[in-house]
Amino acid sequence: MGAGKRARGEGNRLEPEPSDRAPSDLSLLARARSGDLEAYGQLVERHMRRAFSIAYRILRHREDAEDVVQDAFIRTLEHIDRIELARGFQPWLYRVVTNRAVSFLRARSVRATNPLDEDLHRARTPAPDRVTERHELREDLLRALDSLPDRQRTIVLLADLEGFTSGEIGEILEMPAGTVRYQLHLARRALRVILAHTVEEER
Amino acid sequence: MTEETDRNEPDRLGPMDEEWRRTLRAATAPPMDEVDWASLRHAIISEAERRLEAPRAPVYRTVSRWSSRGIPVAAAALLAACLVLWTLPATGSSGDAAPPGFWPVAEELVRGLPDETRQILDASTDVESMIRAMVASAAEEG
């Protein structure tokens, strides 16, 4: 592995601007716009892990998530002149990642027969002595999450799993923060209902 | 962005929700250890280089830039084709002078554009001046 590991999921926000020594996203973006691929490489290095995390939460498949990240960075570079400097690089990139991942998921769901991905079963199936209620809850949760509309599922993933604020999600998905909060409220309520039904059925 | 946007969060998580959030977060945790980050970065940059160095890249960038200014993609593509004709050595262009047969083609292209596109381009009267300005602008912007 060429890069160090980084804690994820807990209290994550859009990354703060780097320290005084490192160039800001804005300056790297300006250089990349003028054709400086080295500068773009620094932006890639800085944000590819978070981009992968978002893509993986949506797709739950490592190779697919890597493909989406690669595609998103290339598309972002191709449209780099359109990025509003005032809004910054990250919301634009994460919007492309999110949209590409959701599109990828739709295409895959048309092809696939099993909605639950193989990665999770291969890498995260617990040991036999730990196949308990928690395992069942996990499966129930994934199914409940998958049953949400794309937009609500994405908001839950970004808010509850990736730790973005509603304002940040609004910038990524291009909607008002209030709409994000309302959609998140609807999504959580739907999850509660689905999970309540599931628990009832299992009793 | 600030955290202030969440101050009025109307749907705080309860204890039950916290449990499912923890479970879901663990169930979908990205396998960061399994990714070869150096290879991924290399793949991205290599593809970016390939795209930028491709012969169509200058035209593509020009079309992209103009279309982002509100010019329809088809019109931007036609105008980019004008630029290629202008700048391609094989057409006999000498830099300042357009290649033979350029102006009739360019005039026809521009006159075929929708009115609103022509307004964006300010091409209502003098097509040659407009094309020359665009050539200069494109050269300046790279």
Whole-number pLDDT of residue A36: 86
Q: CA neighbours within 13 Å on the CB side: how many for A37?
A: 14
- Give the model confidence (pLDDT) of A110-123 as tens digits: 655 444 444 554 44
Residue of A nearest to B33 (CA): A5
Residues 6+ positions from A27 with CB-CB distance below 8 Å: A39
Report CA-CA distances (Å) from B59 to A1, A9, B55, B88. 37, 41, 8, 12
Rounded to the nearest integer, the mean pLDDT of chain A is 81
Share of chain A above pLDDT 70, in %: 75
Closest approach of chain A CAs to the CA of B129, in angstroms? 25
Q: What is the mean pLDDT of residues A22-44?
A: 89
- Using the Cβ of B50 and the Cβ atoms of chain A, whether some distance falls under 8 Å is answered with no
Q: What is the mean pLDDT of residues B28-32?
A: 93
Greater confidence, A12 or A89?
A89
Closest approach of chain B CAs to the CA of A52, in angstroms? 8
Q: Please judge whether B27 and A57 are an interchain contact, meaning their C-beta atoms are less than 8 angstroms apart.
A: no
Q: Please judge whether B28 and A120 are an interchain contact, meaning their C-beta atoms are less than 8 angstroms apart.
A: yes
| φ, ψ for residue B26, nearest 5 deg | -70, -40
ipTM for this prediction: 0.77
Q: CA–CA separation, A51 vs A15, rounded Å?
A: 11
- Give the model confidence (pLDDT) of A137-165 as tens digits: 788 888 889 999 999 999 999 998 999 99
Residue B11 in 3-state DSSP? coil
Whole-number pLDDT of residue B20: 80
- Confirm if B51 and B71 have CB atoms less than 8 A apart: no
Whole-number pLDDT of residue A107: 82
H helix intervals, A10-132:
25-33, 37-59, 62-78, 89-111, 118-124
